[in-house]
Chains A and B, each alone.
Chain A
Amino acid sequence: MLSEHYRELLAAYVDGQPSSRQRRLVQRLLQRSAEARRLLQRLQADSRDLIHLPAPRLDCDLAPAILQKITAGRLGPVRRLRRFASAPAYPVWIGAAAAAAILFTVGTASYCTFAAFLNRPAAPSVAVHNQNNRPLAVPDTKAPDEVRNDIAQTPVPDPLKKSKPDLTPPPHEGDLAHQKTADPKPAAIPDKEEPVFTSEGMEMFVELKSVVPTLDVPATFKLRDLQQDAVHKKLVAELQKDSAVRLELPCPDGGRAFERLQAILKTHHVELMIDASAQRRLAKPLWRTNYVLYSEGMTAAELALLLQQIGADKHPGEIPFDHLVVRRMTERDHKELSDLLGVDPVQIKPSKETGAIGVDPRKPVSDQTAAQLAAALAGQGRAGAKPEHMMLAMPYNPVRPRRDSAEVKRFLDERKPLRPGALQVLLVLRGPTG
């Protein structure tokens, strides 16, 4: 059976259409394929038959019938307006002049509008922090030179002093002398901060100032610096800003970083529940994997201590981390967490405490006994020192989360009510490809 391509080639051959390459191809095909030869012969025969089909003859004159229809229907050639063929009703220069006039009018109107806007009597274009309500610069009443002098005399606050704005001029002898002569009684420093405008249009920064504190800017720490008390306190303060935080630990090797973190967690009595897929990935160090850990129950101080420990004890070159990024959890983080766990544990708080002996009254005793036995057999039982906190570790893949793992279920089942000051922490170990 010939392919459709060859069939079309043969059809093209009948019409004498193929290119020289196609013609050679058809000739080779005809040499080796009897079916192709047969098809070509038939196509040619069909074409001949079509050509020789007898022509039908018109046995009557159609003109009377057509003319009768034209007359009866009062049909006639439809006269169409030939807009483009006919000469324009007015000379071309009139159109050009009209366009120029419109442009001129629009331009003039724009100029007048903006000129009026620019010349409006605005608030003082140059002003100083004026605690005595005395205008130091009144541009409407002063000559430009006087205004310039005012600018020169305007005290500039020292940006390095943060607590209170220092409105005294820089300690320049000439300036001091000038101030003494001009204003023997320097004004007292006001208690409250007032906006200082140095030029027209700076008012917008007042609005910006009110927005800046609401921006959630991540804080970055060098892990080595966490040994310093000041930095450690700053980290604690940063962690205390919210009850849910996201930490990022960039690391060149996710597996090595995980091992380091695991060791530190063990010393801090944090039970690490490693998801099965994470365990598989940890067993394959060549697979570059990012990991995410979720914990709740640690306070800011405990967490800061743990993070401090991560960056300590070893030579700097051996620590698989360098920086720590801290920021509050955003809506996106909540969504990511929900995707990873199946629920957003930050929004859905842990259920009530289980019974005094660690028994959940909502579940049958047999079920819990079986679960505890299974956990003990798996080496994750509660024999020995009881861990203070739990942490869940999973591969970090927000695109394809695996929320159906047994570890996730167990973690969610064993959640405890949050104690005051406890944080909900999403910690991401992010490799260079993440």
Chain B
Amino acid sequence: MSADDHRLIAECLQGDTAAFGVLVRRYQERLYNTAYRLVGNAEDAYDVVQEAFLSAYQSLDSFKGDSLFFTWLYRIAVNTAISLKRKRRAVVSIDGGRNGEQGVEAADTSESSHPGHAMEQAEQGRRIHEALGRLSAEHRAVLVMKDMEGQKYETMAEVLQVPIGTIRSRLHRARLELRDLLEKDES
């Protein structure tokens, strides 16, 4: 944990809410990215991030400093998102707009000189995003953490509080399930 985080946490514990505001601004973007990928829409992602920060603030006293503050915060956010996803399992949300915005931003077409290629990429992204939303919370979490955020197995095991072997097998099954969903979509 960085010395700065440590100092801010100590100030929070002394009742300085402004110090916590600094911590929120420091990590909100990263947490939002994760939350968005896990829950699939911006509105829920906002809720998850807010809930995670509030939970973290309330249990700040239990933070021992054994791991990075962000890892601890990340664990809270992931678990909050998984809980939310489980609650809304029956509802498959494919729009993710907040105030009408798109769930997945359009691909940066400037990188490709071929307009058709950009459209294909956007279409593929949409399909992946949809299929991801239909995965179970656990499978989605491992795919997001491994592929999209590049987490190590150890970190994933720590965050999800399961053995590394479980993470591996869960990841394999998640890939196959995603593939099956995409094939169904293609057909």
Cα distance A372–B151 when bound, in Å? 90
Least distance between A358 CB and chain B CB atoms (Å): 79
Query: Cβ of A377 < 8 Å from any Cβ of B?
Result: no
Cβ–Cβ contact B32 & A56, under 8 A:
yes
Query: Cβ of A241 < 8 Å from any Cβ of B?
Result: no
Cα distance A156–B123 when bound, in Å? 110
Cβ–Cβ contact B178 & A46, under 8 A:
yes
Please tell me which stretch of B66-74, B81-89, B169-177 contacts chain A, meaning at least 4 of its Cβ atoms lie within 8 angstroms of it: B169-177
In the complex with contacts A46-B182, A57-B105, A63-B24, A75-B148 CB distance below 8 A: no
Cβ–Cβ contact A75 & B105, under 8 A:
no
Query: Cβ of A7 < 8 Å from any Cβ of B?
Result: yes
The listed residue (A8, A54, A71, A75) touching B104 by CB distance below 8 A is A54
Q: Which size bracket describes the interface of A in this complex?
A: 35 or more
A53-83 interface code vs B (CB 8 A; 1 in, 0 out): 1111110011111110111000111111000
Cβ–Cβ contact B21 & A39, under 8 A:
no
Q: Which size bracket describes the interface of B in this complex?
A: 35 or more
Query: Cβ of A11 < 8 Å from any Cβ of B?
Result: yes
15 contacts between A and B (CB under 8 A): A12-B168, A43-B176, A50-B128, A50-B144, A51-B148, A56-B33, A56-B42, A62-B28, A62-B50, A67-B17, A67-B18, A71-B17, A75-B58, A77-B13, A77-B57
Cβ–Cβ contact B59 & A77, under 8 A:
yes
Contacts of B92 in A (CB 8 A): none
In the complex with contacts A11-B173, A11-B176, A46-B182, A70-B148 CB distance below 8 A: no
Cα distance A71–B18 when bound, in Å? 11
SS class of chain A's interface: helix, strand, loop or mixed?
helix
Query: Cβ of A196 < 8 Å from any Cβ of B?
Result: no
Least distance between A53 CB and chain B CB atoms (Å): 6
Query: Cβ of B62 < 8 Å from any Cβ of A?
Result: yes
Cβ–Cβ contact B50 & A65, under 8 A:
yes
Contacts of A61 in B (CB 8 A): 25, 28
Cβ–Cβ contact B175 & A62, under 8 A:
no
Least distance between A41 CB and chain B CB atoms (Å): 11
Chain A residue with the shortest CB-CB distance to B126: A53
Cα distance A52–B144 when bound, in Å? 12
A23-64 interface code vs B (CB 8 A; 1 in, 0 out): 000000000000000010011001101111111111001111
